[in-house]
């Protein structure tokens, strides 16, 4: 009971940190929630799972934005060595936070699902997709053997997630659509396979359109938003392909 109260207190703090937009604090609280639940062999509920996702997504998103600015910015008034050193610092921070959440996912959250009867449920897809996402973020800036390994991992996790999604989630489910969106972006931007990217995006969009009348009110907004993003990417990628 004491452990349960501790987790509830940490979740309250995570909600407070989210409201205050203090996402590094939120990550710290949610990391402890995951470890506490793992110690008791308990799964996270949907709210806790979503809090975990929001926390790390915001911290990593901010650092990715900084990295892109340092990579593509024009800093004529600043010495190149300063820009390079700063970029290396951001990459080090990015790598650390990505590795941290990947460790929580692979060492704790996914292990519990594999050991249970829930072999293909939405939670498994959600966590596999997260693994694919964070290996994709690592692939954006790592090079040589490490970069190749990260590319390999992101593709494998996305493929596993897609297989699980096709077994257990309807074509219009936001998690399945979000996975298709991110996997197609991975094909296009990271793996440099534009044909695969277009094929995946088109298949996911067309399959969802066919089942649009089955959408319930609770997920309609999320699903249609992701479908729009899939279509936007498909339009962009197709036009770029024609330009070449």
List the domain boundaries for the chain.
1-116, 120-244
Three-state SS at 143: coil
Q: What stretch of H or E contains 118?
A: none
CATH 1.10.357.10 assigned to domain 120-244? The reply is: no
Tokens, residue 202: 């088109």
Closest CA to 209 of 195, 221, 229, 227: 227
CB 129 within 8 A of CB 180: no
Tokens describing residue 122: 């939405």
Q: Domain 1-116 has what CATH class?
A: mainly alpha
> CB of 201 within 8 A of CB of 151?
no
Residue 244 pLDDT: 62
Phi, psi of 49 (to 5 degrees): -60, -45
- Burial code of 171-205, b = ≥16 C-beta within 10 A, e = fewer? bbbbbbbbbbbbbbbbbbebbeebeebbebbbebb
pLDDT 10s digit of each residue in the chain, 244 long?
A: 456 788 899 999 999 999 999 999 999 999 999 999 999 989 999 999 999 999 999 999 999 999 999 998 788 889 999 999 999 999 999 999 999 999 999 999 999 885 444 545 899 999 999 999 999 999 999 999 999 999 999 999 999 999 999 999 999 999 999 999 999 999 999 999 999 999 999 999 999 999 888 777 778 889 999 999 999 999 999 988 776 6
1-116 and 120-244 in the same fold:
yes
What residues contact residue 177 under an 8 Å CB cut-off, 6+ apart?
A: 171, 204, 208, 223, 226, 227, 230
Tokens of 97: 């936070």
What is the pLDDT at residue 212?
Answer: 82
H-only helix segments in the chain: 2-19, 23-39, 46-72, 80-104, 110-114, 122-139, 144-168, 174-185, 194-210, 217-243
The angle at the Cα of 98, spanning 97 to 99, to the nearest 5 degrees, equals: 90
Q: What is the pTM of this model?
A: 0.92
pLDDT on residue 114? 58
pLDDT reported for residue 116: 47
pLDDT value at residue 1: 44
DSSP 183-222: HHHIIIIIS--HHHHHHHHHHHHHHHHHTGGG--HHHHHH
Closest among 143, 95, 50 to 151, alpha carbons compared: 143
């Amino acid at each position: 009971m004491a452990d349960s109260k501790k987790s509830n207190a940490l979740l309250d703090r995570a909600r407070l940190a989210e409201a205050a937009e203090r996402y590094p604090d939120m990550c710290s609280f949610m990391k402890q929630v995951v470890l506490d639940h793992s110690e008791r062999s308990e799964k996270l509920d949907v709210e806790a799972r979503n809090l975990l996702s929001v926390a790390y997504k915001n911290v990593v998103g901010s650092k990715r934005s900084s990295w892109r600015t340092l990579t593509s910015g024009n800093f004529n008034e600043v010495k190149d060595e300063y820009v390079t050193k700063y970029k290396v610092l951001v990459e080090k921070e990015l790598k650390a936070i990505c590795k941290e959440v990947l460790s929580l996912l692979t060492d704790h959250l996914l292990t519990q699902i594999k050991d249970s009867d829930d072999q293909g449920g939405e939670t498994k897809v959600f966590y596999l997709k997260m693994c694919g996402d964070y290996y994709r973020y690592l692939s954006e800036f790592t090079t040589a053997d490490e970069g190749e390994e990260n590319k390999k991992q992101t593709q494998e996790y996305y493929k596993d997630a897609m297989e699980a999604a096709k077994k257990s989630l309807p074509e219009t489910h936001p998690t399945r659509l979000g996975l298709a969106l991110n996997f197609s972006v991975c094909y296009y931007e990271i793996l440099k396979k534009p044909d695969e990217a277009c094929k995946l995006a088109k298949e996911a969009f067309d399959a969802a359109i066919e089942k649009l009348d089955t959408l319930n009110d609770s997920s309609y907004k999320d699903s249609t938003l992701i479908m729009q993003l899939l279509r936007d990417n498909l339009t962009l990628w197709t036009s770029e392909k024609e330009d070449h």
